[in-house]
Amino acid sequence: MQAAEEMHAIARSKYGTPDVLTYERIPRPVPGDQEVLVQVHAAGASIGDYIMVTGKPYLIRLTPFGGVPRPRHRVPGACMAGRVAAVGAKVTAFRVGDEVFGQAVSGAFAEYVVVPATLIAPKPVNLSFEEASAVPWAVASLQGLRDVGALKAGQRLLINGASGGVGTWAVQIGKALGAHVTAVCSTRNVAMVRGLGADEVIDYTSTDFADGGPRFDVILDTAGNRSLSDVRRALVPEGTYVSVSGGNSGVAWVVRLAAMGLLSLFTRQKFKGLFTTPNADDLMVLKGLVEARSLKPVIERRFPLREVGDALRHVGGRHPQGQTVIECASVSRSEALTTR
């Protein structure tokens, strides 16, 4: 019997701090009939990955992405970009060698990952693999604004936490949808967020967006640091609040969702939580916006695959700026970049 091919990957056998992660050689995965094997050139590291490694809030362990009592998936990581290395017997949309990006259930912090063909799309032609690996996280901003918030052209949008991994995408998507965008961030991020196209920027260290100023049709909250009474004061009478942040406590998140549901029953204002659904159709929407120069990734830091633990400590800390990327494969500049 032929021995399974191996690859380098970041693995773990239990939940915990990023210290539980190890750099190992493990068997290379094999795609099923409707799956694709992707050679990962870069992966995006986010607060979501940090949560999956730590297993906190604890409710995340009860989802298909978690596992009880130990992680269901040994290799973490979701968002990635790379080249198709093999396709399943029933996959017709992709061929070996295609450049793709997308979001796996898990396993992206490795040299190869298996992902359903329905969760990847052709890579934007004007981005490197590193840049493209950060784009799938924009699905959260797209679905939060377009679908949950029902944002319309001409409406006033406020983004609380505009300088982070979700917020930087939300500023740009809000503008692409035709909204008047007000971004809330700290002093050090004001210039960066304004450069993304925000019409107004509020420095929360000196100004409170809920203190009697303008009211907004939609508020997208990635920070989760304001009470619902504060949010109500900043919304128009029929406005919509969309919460992206689950907080550090699963119980607190459930309580907040329940309170939001009750408020929606007794007021014309709507309070909704965002539960992102990765899919290829939204990846194609983002690809179009990127290639039209309406969106661009904001990459703050890059880490080699061996240093995923350091990357997760960074994104799990306070106030990371934009996206963090993991370099998973050695790619020459001519291969990684296409004509811009």
CA atoms of 202 and 223, how far apart (whole Å) = 14
Q: What is the pLDDT of residues 236-279, one digit of tens each?
A: 999 999 998 755 445 666 788 888 888 888 899 999 999 889 99
Q: Is the pLDDT of residue 330 over 90?
A: no
Domain membership of residue 266 as a residue range:
138-273
Q: Is the pLDDT of residue 92 over 50?
A: yes
Q: Are residues 129 and 162 in the same domain?
A: no
Kindly report the CATH number assigned to the domain that includes residue 200. Answer: 3.40.50.720
Q: What is the pLDDT of residues 169-215, one digit of tens each?
A: 999 999 999 999 999 999 999 999 999 999 999 999 999 999 988 89
Q: Are residues 129 and 204 in the same domain?
A: no
Q: What is the pTM of this model?
A: 0.91
- Pair 203, 178: CB distance under 8 Å: no
**Residue 281 forms part of a structural domain:** no
**Residue 126 forms part of a structural domain:** yes
Q: What is the pLDDT of residues 272-321, one digit of tens each?
A: 999 889 999 999 999 999 999 999 999 999 999 999 999 999 998 867 78
Q: Are residues 114 and 231 in the same domain?
A: no
Q: What is the pLDDT of residues 121-177, one digit of tens each?
A: 999 999 999 999 999 999 999 999 999 999 999 999 999 999 999 999 999 999 999
Calculate mean pLDDT across residues 12-26: 96
> What's residue 247's pLDDT?
53
Tell me the C-alpha to C-alpha distance, in Å, between residue 282 and each of 119, 120, 146, 279. Answer: 10, 10, 11, 6
Q: What's the domain count of the chain?
A: 2
Q: Which helix (H) or strand (E) holds 130?
A: helix 129-133
- List CB contacts of 115: < 8 A, sequence separation 6 or more: 35, 36, 38, 80, 102, 103, 104, 105, 107
